[in-house]
Amino acid sequence: MSKMILVNLPVRDLAASTAFYVALGGAVNPQFSGANSTLLNFTEAIGVMLLTHEHYREFTQRPIGDARRDSQAMYALTVDARDAVDATVARAADAGGRADPNPAQDLGFMYNRHVEDPDGYVWEMVWMNPSAHG
């Protein structure tokens, strides 16, 4: 089995969060999804596992933080084209997210914007010009 990165996130409303992450570009993996969790694959190697708070607590004794209040991590996904940054942020915002909780950055060779999910986790959508650093 090849290596994968799975980001596990506790969520308040599994259906709403699933809709957001589908709009962000994830595909639901029904093999690892159910009443208490949804696995969304972004690539063969990158996935986001959404877990209800009750299910998440089965894996940790630590309290669940509030991502709406405290920054806990930065998550970034790359896209293939500059226009895809704006399109992805718009789709995710239409699916219950909040666009641009942080300022956009346009460095010419790199462009990014952010979108916040229903639980407050912020995702950075990034396009980088592959020929800029040849």
Tokens 């290596």 belong to residue? 3
Domain presence at residue 86: yes
Q: Cβ neighbours of residue 126 under 8 Å, at least 6 residues apart? A: 76, 77, 78, 79, 85, 110, 111, 112
Q: What is the pTM of this model?
A: 0.90
Give the per-residue pLDDT at 90.
98
pLDDT in tens, the chain (134 residues): 788 999 999 999 999 999 999 999 999 999 999 999 999 999 999 999 999 999 999 999 999 999 999 988 889 999 999 999 999 999 999 999 999 999 999 999 999 999 999 999 999 999 999 787 55
Q: For the domain that residue 29 is a member of, what is the CATH number?
A: 3.10.180.10
Closest of 134, 133, 87 to residue 110, by C-alpha:
133
Domain presence at residue 105: yes
Domain presence at residue 103: yes
96: left (phi over 0), alpha (psi -120 to 50) or beta: left
Domain presence at residue 22: yes
Q: What is the total count of domains within the chain?
A: 1
Domain presence at residue 133: no
CA 104 to chain centre: 17
Domain presence at residue 123: yes
Give the per-residue pLDDT at 74.
86
Domain presence at residue 82: yes
Domain presence at residue 54: yes
Alpha-carbon distance 10 to 106, whole Å?
A: 31
Q: Which domain holds residue 90?
A: 5-60+72-128
Structure tokens given for 45: 């190697």
In the sheet with 46-52, reading across from the earlier edge strand, the strands are: 5-11, 46-52, 37-41, 27-29
